[in-house]
Structure 1
Amino acid sequence: MKLTVQVKLLPTPVQAAALEATLRACNEAANWASEVAFRKDVKRNFALREHTYAEIKAQWGLGAQAAQHVIKKVCDAYATLKANLKAGNMGRPSSKRYRRATQKPVTFRPEAAQPYDDRMLSWQIAQRRVSIWTVAGRVKDVAFTASPEQLAALTLHRKGESDLVCRDGMWFLNATCEVPEAEPNAEPHDFLGIDLGIVNIATTSDGEIMAGRELNRMRARERTLRAKLQKKNTPSAKRRLKKRRRKEARRARDINHKIAKRVVAEAERTGRGIALEELTGIRERVRLRKPQRATHSSWAFAQLGAFIRYKARRAGVPVVYVDPAYTSRTCAECGHIDRANRVSRAWFACRNCGFVDHADRNSSRNIRARAQELWRCGALSTAPVPLLKPRGGTGRKRHVTASDARCASLGLQSRCS
């Protein structure tokens, strides 16, 4: 499994100037190569190299490896753009955003990250020093700082490229590490259901509620302060805005890391799997009033899910995604579904059996039950069962397993499919 270890560089003023000049030269060359790729419609690595390699080396003074990485970065950017267009992330072809993305070349910021390989960057981890190539020559003995865990990961698992990043005047190296995964637990005896929310960030089926009131209050304060500073629009206000940017994102990321760590540790300790809701596309599905939009858009549920997923892979804990439909309206005791069961945001009261529970805890129990059923579906016989109606209208005959058929009747997706 690939993970990124970020270490902070501590360059001297002379070293920092050389690094800044290198980033600017590489990104200027990348912008020129992007224009060539767009004009000639050549967006593959080897084909674009024939048109740009010699010019990049001659005009910007880049070495052979740096020039190749610049060209590869341009091709990767166009590949990412093509994937986003195909997935519909840029809207419809008739939309303004789609046309803006396709009618001009991809551009790179002057301080955009630049990849380095082992020919351009060498690590002395024990001395906490790196030697790095720049347009001013090889810069040696650039100090860096890292935690003991990061140093151990770099020593044991570093493999591949590292990215040089400049952010708010600080320098970082993002090193790729190939970390081995733990042996997956193929037979979890139960699942830990996780209900994700805005007020309560995560609620487990064990009844643990990880509230986000402090984070939501901080976000409200930050939004109010940003609005005041933007309205003032003075040089000092712009300096304060620049200083405070990304503060909210850093705080949310830290909280998500802590929640993910607790969830995975509890599942690993008890020999259970983790059940999460499949929330892809929730922003497009949910209609909100204007005062609710900022709160909903700043909810980093995808980030929390990604943190849980990669930590679970390292620990060997299986993760199952279930359909979230009606989990908040379904009684975890009798299975009765009714909109009136949700008497308030915080409480659930079943109209059929009278069961009363915290609303998020009831939802997490439903998520756990769906994960158990889904896991049992995947463990059933795989004897083929004919499906009369072909999926996707292709006209081809298609067969599904018995587990697929049972999962389809439950509104779930088989882990074997």
Structure 2
Amino acid sequence: MKLVTQVKLLPEADQAVALRSTLRTVNEAANWVSGVAFAQGVPREYELRRYTYPELKARGLGAQAAQHVIKKTRDAYTALKANIKAGNYGKPGSKRRAKAESKPIAFRPEAAQPFDDRCLSWQYDAGTVSIWTVAGRLKNVRFACSPDALKVLREHRKGESDLVERDGVFYLIAVCDIPEPDLYEPTGFVGVDLGIVNIATTSNGYRAAGRGLNRHRKRQLGLRKKLQAKGTKSAKRLLKKRSRKEARHTANINHIVSKTIVTTAERTGCGIALEDLTGIRSRVRLRKDQRTALHSWSFHQLASFVEYKAKRAGVPLVYVDPAYTSRQCSECGHIDRRNRQSQASFACRSCGALMHADDNASHNIARKGATVWTAGRESRVPATQ
């Protein structure tokens, strides 16, 4: 299983200048390579290297840095093509898709640049790195991270590390290849109902209320509106400063919720059943005042956090079809749209069962998870001789 570990660099003043100059240089070169690729019809990486490698060397880039610039650019076009094919840029003829297809890909001056082991070496005991820059090799660049992150780096770091600058601070994002433990045979499944009012509700009684997160989002939205309406230079600086604050807060909440779900399932020997909510934003029709909440809903991030934490702990995880989980009674199985009386209340019109709507849905998801797990297992009947 591949995970990324982020460490913060603590360079001296002259080292920071060299790192910043390196990022500006390689991303300027990547923009030039992108223009060549676009003009040539986005050739394969080997052919693109033939068009661009000599010029990149002439610009002062080292051999490995030039190779990574070319590969980064080609990978960006591969990702763009995949997103267009998946419909993430709209249907053929849409403005957004036409705009994406009509011009070369552009890289920000502080965009990430990959470094392999020839360009970057780690000294874990000293807490420093040695890294290639356009000003020469920088040695003894200090970094900071938690003891757990340092242990993961020391034992599992493998492959490339990305150098990136955010708000004047430099980070290294390292790829770590962590072995996955074997999955155990679950004694049952914990169904997880994802929502906006309640971030997650599980069939074993855990509920993560979304009041605080939604209140934070509403406050951030109001502040953005005020600053955008003001339009001054100081307002724009403050907008930039706060740009990722909501995302960091949301990610922290999702980490806490996902860790609670996975540790509970691991402690009880259960598996985890999640709803497959792919494409829900395009399927659901809402009033205009509800759209902001729907599009701010980070269900995919929470599900991905649960998934990788479950893999790391050896906890079985399955995805189930969410159809009718909120309308079906978990006691008798009766399905009726009128069973869901409101966002929070569920009253079965057949057996009269009363419960919280999210609790009811989580029990239905748990039952579906057990069915999916049983259907997906290999047959244990001995082979005929």
Coarse TM-score class (shorter-chain normalised): over 0.9
Q: How big is the shift at 1:294?
A: 1.0
Partner of 2:2: 2
**Bigger RCO (CA 8 Å, 6+ sep):** 2
DSSP-derived class of the 2:170 partner: strand
Q: How big is the shift at 1:344?
A: 1.3
CA separation of 1:380/1:109 partners in 2, compared to 1, >3 Å: closer, same or farther? Answer: closer
For residues 82 and 294 of structure 2, the distance between their equivalents in structure 1, rounded to whole angstroms, comes to 26
CA separation of 1:380/1:2 partners in 2, compared to 1, >3 Å: closer, same or farther? Answer: closer
Partner of 1:14: 14
Q: How big is the shift at 1:22?
A: 0.4
- Structural mapping, 1:22-33, within 5 Å: 22-33=22-33
DSSP-derived class of the 1:6 partner: strand
Partner of 2:230: 232
Which residue of the other structure, out of 190, 193, 199, is the alignment partner of 1:192?
190
CA separation of 1:209/1:49 partners in 2, compared to 1, >3 Å: closer, same or farther? Answer: same
Partner of 2:107: 108
Partner of 2:319: 321
Structure 1 regions of 5+ residues with no counterpart? Answer: 384-417
Partner of 1:134: 133
Q: How big is the shift at 1:378?
A: 2.5
- Give CA deviations for 1:22-48 in whole Å, capped at 9, x if unaligned: 011101111111111111124321111
Question: Aligned pair count?
Answer: 381
Say whether residues 1:63 and 2:62 are aligned partners. Answer: yes
Partner of 1:411: none
For residues 286 and 200 of structure 1, the distance between their equivalents in structure 2, rounded to whole angstroms, comes to 18
DSSP-derived class of the 2:217 partner: helix
Partner of 1:243: 241
CA contact (8 A) 2:275 2:365 kept: yes
For residues 271 and 341 of structure 2, the distance between their equivalents in structure 1, rounded to whole angstroms, comes to 31
Partner of 1:170: 169
Partner of 1:219: 217
- Structural mapping, 1:384-395, within 5 Å: none
CA separation of 1:329/1:130 partners in 2, compared to 1, >3 Å: closer, same or farther? Answer: same
For residues 368 and 239 of structure 2, the distance between their equivalents in structure 1, rounded to whole angstroms, comes to 45
DSSP-derived class of the 1:337 partner: coil
Per the normalisation by structure 2, the TM-score is 0.97
Q: How big is the shift at 1:376?
A: 2.2
Partner of 2:257: 259
Amino acid at match of 2:328: T
Amino acid at match of 1:40: Q
CA contact (8 A) 2:42 2:77 kept: no
Q: How big is the shift at 1:382?
A: 10
CA separation of 1:380/1:226 partners in 2, compared to 1, >3 Å: closer, same or farther? Answer: same
Q: How big is the shift at 1:380?
A: 7.3
- Give CA deviations for 1:233-285 in whole Å, capped at 9, x if unaligned: 11221122122111110000001001111111111111111000000000000
For residues 140 and 375 of structure 1, the distance between their equivalents in structure 2, rounded to whole angstroms, comes to 52
Amino acid at match of 1:159: K
For residues 364 and 109 of structure 1, the distance between their equivalents in structure 2, rounded to whole angstroms, comes to 43
Amino acid at match of 1:253: A
- Structural mapping, 1:143-182, within 5 Å: 143-182=142-181
For residues 376 and 70 of structure 1, the distance between their equivalents in structure 2, rounded to whole angstroms, comes to 47
Which residue of the other structure, out of 276, 288, 291, is the alignment partner of 2:289?
291
Q: How big is the shift at 1:179?
A: 0.6
For residues 74 and 3 of structure 1, the distance between their equivalents in structure 2, rounded to whole angstroms, comes to 23
Partner of 1:183: 182
Amino acid at match of 2:318: V
CA contact (8 A) 1:277 1:322 kept: yes
CA separation of 1:362/1:141 partners in 2, compared to 1, >3 Å: closer, same or farther? Answer: same
DSSP-derived class of the 2:122 partner: strand
Partner of 1:359: 357
Q: How big is the shift at 1:97?
A: 1.3
For residues 286 and 208 of structure 1, the distance between their equivalents in structure 2, rounded to whole angstroms, comes to 27
For residues 97 and 228 of structure 1, the distance between their equivalents in structure 2, rounded to whole angstroms, comes to 27
- Give CA deviations for 1:311-351 in whole Å, capped at 9, x if unaligned: 00011111111110111111000001111111111111111
Amino acid at match of 2:37: A
CA separation of 1:272/1:135 partners in 2, compared to 1, >3 Å: closer, same or farther? Answer: same
DSSP-derived class of the 1:305 partner: helix
For residues 97 and 129 of structure 1, the distance between their equivalents in structure 2, rounded to whole angstroms, comes to 44
For residues 95 and 57 of structure 2, the distance between their equivalents in structure 1, rounded to whole angstroms, comes to 37
DSSP-derived class of the 2:330 partner: coil
CA contact (8 A) 2:23 2:110 kept: yes
- Give CA deviations for 1:118-154 in whole Å, capped at 9, x if unaligned: 1101111111101111000011111110000000001
For residues 373 and 57 of structure 2, the distance between their equivalents in structure 1, rounded to whole angstroms, comes to 56
For residues 24 and 286 of structure 1, the distance between their equivalents in structure 2, rounded to whole angstroms, comes to 43
- Give CA deviations for 1:201-253 in whole Å, capped at 9, x if unaligned: 00000121111111110110110111011101112211221221111100000
CA separation of 1:42/1:298 partners in 2, compared to 1, >3 Å: closer, same or farther? Answer: closer
For residues 199 and 163 of structure 2, the distance between their equivalents in structure 1, rounded to whole angstroms, comes to 33
Say whether residues 1:118 and 2:137 are aligned partners. Answer: no
Partner of 2:41: 41
Per the normalisation by structure 1, the TM-score is 0.90
**Structure 1 vs Structure 2 CA RMSD:** 1.2
DSSP-derived class of the 1:324 partner: coil
Amino acid at match of 1:222: Q
CA contact (8 A) 1:26 1:114 kept: yes
CA separation of 1:96/1:382 partners in 2, compared to 1, >3 Å: closer, same or farther? Answer: farther
Q: Percent identity?
A: 63
DSSP-derived class of the 2:250 partner: helix
